Amino acid sequence: MKILRTFLPAALFLAAQFSLMPDARAQFGGTGSDGVFWPTADTTLDTAAQGGVWDSQGGVWNFSYFYVPAGVTVTLTGQNAARIRSSGDIAIEGDLIVTPGTCAGEPAGGGYEGPGFATCQAPACVARATYQYNADLLLPVGGSRARSAQNCAATAAGGGFVKLEAAGNVVVAGTIEAVGDYISCAQNWTQRSYGSGGAVLLRSLQQIVVGSFATIRTDSYDGNASQAGPIRFESPLVPVVHGSVIPAYTTGTAHAVLGHFWTMSRVDKQITESEADTTLLNQAAMPDSGFGLCLSRHGAAWATMPTANRIMAFARDAVDPLMGKTITTAPGPRGIASDNNDYLWVACDSGSVQRFDSWGVLRDTTALAGSPHGIAVAGDGRVWVTTRAANTVVVLAPDATVLAEHDLSSVAPNGLPTGIAMDVDGNVWVTIQVPSPGSPGHVAKLAPDGTLLGNFPVGHHPSAVACDAHGRVWIAIEGDIATPGSTVTALTTAGVLIGDFSVDTFPSSLGIDGTGNVVVVCSGGQIDPTSSLLVLSSGGAPLHSAPLGDLSVSFGDFTGYQFAMTVDPLGDADGDGFGNLEEMQDLGNPFDPNIGSGPGSTYCTPAVPNSSGLPASIGGTGSDVALDNNLTLTVSGLPEGQFSFFIASQSQGYTPNPGGSQGVLCLGAPMVRFNASVLVVSGGQVSLTPDLSQVPLPPTFAHTVVAGESWNFQLWFRDNNPGLTSNFSDGLMVTFQ
């Protein structure tokens, strides 16, 4: 059925045509390898031919631009769900139709995996259709089965499922239909029923626009809205919807908002989601005690339950179809991690690592001796696994085949490797426990090829490790019943001790939040099982705390930071246009669209390391608009308690060791000193919001910054390294608008 529609404005069309997104968003918008899709006549896209029957991702296309002109109908057929990805924009002026199926035994319309409804015999059809419709991690395909009596040869489910994912805009001015058809059957049919609708998901990293004369519908062809499948729009900007959408759509973000903290109480058997300031957001019951935890890019927290031999998904929204989804694993699932292709990797201490696809289907089981425990995914897609009983680290390829095994007995002959994480340079850090009571533990540093780069003794029974984007490695010293631990140790990536910081008893898990703070889960012990959630600054100062259920744990990447930094550094978790690693290193927040990478760009980096073992790193937040007068300068990686002040110039320079300093002055003359605001380092950092209308620039010492001026900022600070000296941060150049 054709409907009247408006045409896309020429300017919007041209903008869409040339607004291809950079590689940073290729994982979301596809590779563009299928080129431009721009049919001039009615066209059919066969999902089965594109993706193969039962392909875990459905029929997938990777266009660089997807455009359906007015007057053209594109029909999706075949047996798979359809996933149309565009590295540019998606614009639909014509019609995009998902064909419904017919009764059993007829070839038209496809099968139970995608477009069309189920055409297999009952009751098997019911089971497989139900499984398929609830399997996709992004959105379930809607559809209830049609009921038949006596000897009818079929049961039937509803319409198909189509995902449209664009790194640019998604603009609909025509029709998208994924609806169920009328069902009848010739043999002994005593009851008639209507098929239900399919499902439509539009995802954009920019904006979704539905024009005034557009129609998106998933109801049944007879107009039965009660049989409609879901429609969901996901984008960082609020969708603009003027046309007809049947049924009502739900909304969400284009990417999962990672950065919240997920913890599990083994006594209360519940999972808790908290804000970055430890404010409680959600709680949900678990059928058994949890242990390992990771976040997927699509917003689910996946928990392992070792005694139940299951993993379970918990969504941020209680009505999300992922909430409560469970998958059976090999016995003893411990560590869990997510890779950049949406596969889940589970380390099972009974002797295997299992890989599940994005629909929860088991793809591979790789036998590994020695009780696999911790697991982490590297930036190149390889998977690293600690084996406690074998005292090794095993490396798997993305297809789950074993690539290498690295013996850690030279670090600790009787060691028990536990936690594992990657630093920003791709090196691998492993915590190793020594079973003798009171014996110091170790942290091993391995190169990406497995070469041992360092062996660093730490406190007794280190349980977990996490790395930030600024060269710090954090280790939780859990201890044991005889010697309970209450310390978090910080090292530089060179192995230099930054400090030991006191926390509550039995710190079992730790992670990093979006701003580089350290999140610690303290489990408590058997005598006192009281647990707590602590947040420390990047310098180790306490910031927030909250009570948790007894014997809480979150072994793994329970904030999503490791995934964003290592697995998906070029991705854009919050959809604000800045890459994850870029925001981390520029003191932004990759999980908050309101905190980008900040004004300006750094130079003269890295700075010379100071007594903290780290180089001082500068970043800017706020606005680079001169009239806003709202630029905040922040420097981290500083020695605690030292005096400092910011300096600035309109020119850059490079002067090593000025006046006996250990650092490099990166400014030219004349220079401005904001020494009216002497700052004392607290928590390893300082911040200043300079008054841009009163910059102390000679000769007036009250210069007003105006649009077009470029200013360079740096921090000078005192240090004891080992004697009295001084140092500088790197530089930040801001061109004001």
pLDDT in tens, 690-724: 999 999 998 888 999 999 999 999 999 999 999 99
Task: Find the mean pLDDT for residues 70-84.
Answer: 76
Q: Give me the pLDDT at residue 580, please.
A: 86
Please give the residue that has the higher pLDDT: either 170 or 611.
611
How sure is the predictor about 323, in pLDDT bands with cuts at 50, 70 and 90? low
Averaged confidence pLDDT in the chain: 78
Highest mean pLDDT among 128-132, 385-389, 694-698: 385-389
Write the DSSP symbol of residue 22.
Answer: P
Is residue 589 domain-resident? Answer: no
3-class secondary structure, 433 = strand
Do both 639 and 541 map to the same domain? Answer: no
- Residue 646: alpha-carbon gap to chain centroid: 35
pLDDT in tens, 419-440: 999 999 999 999 999 988 878 9
Contact indicator for 643, 675 with CB cutoff of 8 Å: no
List beta partners, residue 82: 59, 162
The structure tokens 């990657």 sit at 422
3-class secondary structure, 184 = coil
pLDDT in tens, 407-421: 999 999 999 999 999
Task: Find the mean pLDDT for residues 262-272.
Answer: 91
Tokens of 206: 């920019």
Task: Find the mean pLDDT for residues 192-213.
Answer: 67
Beta strands in 259-350 (DSSP E): 261-265, 270-274, 280-285, 293-295, 300-305, 310-315, 326-328, 333-338, 344-348
Please give the residue that has the higher pLDDT: either 348 or 323.
348
Buried b (16+ CB within 10 A) or exposed e, 495-512: eeebeebebbbbbbbbbb
Which of 410, 378, 409 minimizes the C-alpha distance to 396? 378
Do both 468 and 602 map to the same domain? Answer: no
Q: How many residues does the chain have?
A: 737
Please give the residue that has the higher pLDDT: either 265 or 141.
265
Task: Find the mean pLDDT for residues 602-613.
Answer: 88
Q: What angle do CA 94, 98, 101 make, to 5 degrees?
A: 145
Report d(CA 124, CA 547) in Å as an integer.
Answer: 48
Task: Find the mean pLDDT for residues 241-270.
Answer: 76
Q: pLDDT exceeding 90 applies to what percent of the chain?
A: 43
Q: DSSP H helical segments within 25-80, as ranges?
A: 26-29, 47-51
How sure is the predictor about 58, in pLDDT bands with cuts at 50, 70 and 90? low
State yes or no: pLDDT of 149 exceeds 50: no
Report d(CA 381, CA 400) in Å as an integer.
Answer: 10
How sure is the predictor about 575, in pLDDT bands with cuts at 50, 70 and 90? low
Q: Give me the pLDDT at residue 419, please.
A: 97
Report d(CA 408, CA 373) in Å as an integer.
Answer: 15
Q: Give me the pLDDT at residue 370, please.
A: 95
State yes or no: pLDDT of 474 exceeds 60: yes
Long-range contacts of 319-327 (CB under 8 A, 24+ apart): 321/134, 321/139, 321/140, 322/137, 323/284, 324/284, 325/134, 325/360, 326/287, 327/356, 327/360, 327/362
Task: Check which CATH number belongs to the domain holding 607 and give it.
Answer: 2.60.40.10
Contact indicator for 694, 629 with CB cutoff of 8 Å: no
State yes or no: pLDDT of 54 exceeds 50: no
Write the DSSP symbol of residue 372.
Answer: E
How sure is the predictor about 338, in pLDDT bands with cuts at 50, 70 and 90? very high
Rounded alpha-carbon distances, angstroms, from residue 3 to 6, 71, 173:
10, 10, 10
Report d(CA 65, CA 57) in Å as an integer.
Answer: 20
Is residue 5 domain-resident? Answer: no
Report d(CA 570, CA 296) in Å as an integer.
Answer: 16
Question: What is the domain count for the chain?
Answer: 3
Q: Give me the pLDDT at residue 162, please.
A: 75
Which of 642, 732, 646 minimizes the C-alpha distance to 695? 646
Task: Find the mean pLDDT for residues 391-397.
Answer: 97
Contact indicator for 342, 304 with CB cutoff of 8 Å: no
Which of 325, 332, 324 minimizes the C-alpha distance to 354? 332
State yes or no: pLDDT of 53 exceeds 50: no
Contact indicator for 538, 468 with CB cutoff of 8 Å: yes
Contact indicator for 649, 667 with CB cutoff of 8 Å: yes
Is residue 593 domain-resident? Answer: no
Please give the residue that has the higher pLDDT: either 380 or 64.
380
Which of 187, 188, 189, 196 minimizes the C-alpha distance to 156? 196
Three state DSSP letters for 404-418: EEEECCCCCCCCEEE
Tokens of 433: 């426990």
The DSSP line for 652-671 is: EEEEESGGG-SSEEEE-SSE
Contact indicator for 359, 313 with CB cutoff of 8 Å: no
Is residue 588 domain-resident? Answer: no
State yes or no: pLDDT of 6 exceeds 60: no
For the chain, report the end-to-end CA distance as a whole number of angstroms.
Answer: 51
pTM, whole model, 2 decimals? Answer: 0.64
Contact indicator for 427, 457 with CB cutoff of 8 Å: no
Report d(CA 652, CA 668) in Å as an integer.
Answer: 5
Do both 638 and 671 map to the same domain? Answer: yes
Buried b (16+ CB within 10 A) or exposed e, 242-256: ebebbbebeebbbbb
Contact indicator for 134, 143 with CB cutoff of 8 Å: no
Do both 636 and 678 map to the same domain? Answer: yes
Report d(CA 234, CA 297) in Å as an integer.
Answer: 13
Do both 624 and 707 map to the same domain? Answer: yes
Please give the residue that has the higher pLDDT: either 323 or 369.
369
Which of 232, 252, 272 is the endpoint of a domain? Answer: 252
Do both 52 and 201 map to the same domain? Answer: yes
State yes or no: pLDDT of 145 exceeds 80: no
Do both 246 and 283 map to the same domain? Answer: no
Q: Give me the pLDDT at residue 28, please.
A: 53
Do both 268 and 248 map to the same domain? Answer: no
Which of 729, 504, 460 minimizes the C-alpha distance to 612? 729
Tokens of 484: 């309970």
Other beta carbons within 10 Å of 13: 16
Contact indicator for 550, 528 with CB cutoff of 8 Å: no
Task: Find the mean pLDDT for residues 99-111.
Answer: 34
Tokens of 324: 């409560």
Q: Give me the pLDDT at residue 299, please.
A: 60
Rounded alpha-carbon distances, angstroms, from residue 274 to 270, 287, 574, 672:
13, 20, 18, 43
Report d(CA 221, CA 227) in Å as an integer.
Answer: 10
Tokens of 317: 């929204």
The least confident of 199-203, 218-222, 303-307, 342-346 is 218-222
Do both 490 and 616 map to the same domain? Answer: no
State yes or no: pLDDT of 396 exceeds 60: yes
The least confident of 286-300, 334-348, 495-509 is 286-300
Q: Give me the pLDDT at residue 179, please.
A: 65
Report d(CA 286, CA 288) in Å as an integer.
Answer: 5
Is residue 270 domain-resident? Answer: yes
State yes or no: pLDDT of 189 exceeds 50: no
Beta strands in 542-595 (DSSP E): 542-548, 552-553
Q: Give me the pLDDT at residue 298, please.
A: 59
Is the peptide bond preceding residue 670 cis, with omega within 30 degrees of 0? Answer: yes
Q: What are phi and psi of 389, to 5 degrees?
A: -75, -25
Tokens of 436: 């003798």
Is residue 521 domain-resident? Answer: yes
Which of 518, 550, 567 is the endpoint of a domain? Answer: 567
Do both 323 and 380 map to the same domain? Answer: yes
Strand-strand pairing, 250-252 and 231-234: parallel
Range of the domain at 681: 598-735
3-class secondary structure, 205 = coil
Rounded alpha-carbon distances, angstroms, from residue 227 to 145, 202, 233, 283, 703:
10, 20, 20, 31, 67
List beta partners, residue 328: 310
State yes or no: pLDDT of 108 exceeds 50: no
Task: Find the mean pLDDT for residues 553-581.
Answer: 86
Q: DSSP H helical segments within 590-661, as ranges?
A: none
Tokens of 46: 């066969």
Which of 252, 277, 312 is the endpoint of a domain? Answer: 252
Do both 69 and 129 map to the same domain? Answer: yes
Task: Check which CATH number belongs to the domain holding 464 and give it.
Answer: 2.130.10.10
Is the peptide bond preceding residue 9 cis, with omega within 30 degrees of 0? Answer: no
Is residue 2 domain-resident? Answer: no
Do both 663 and 562 map to the same domain? Answer: no
The least confident of 309-318, 389-398, 528-537, 658-667 is 309-318
Q: Give me the pLDDT at residue 147, please.
A: 24
Is residue 577 domain-resident? Answer: no
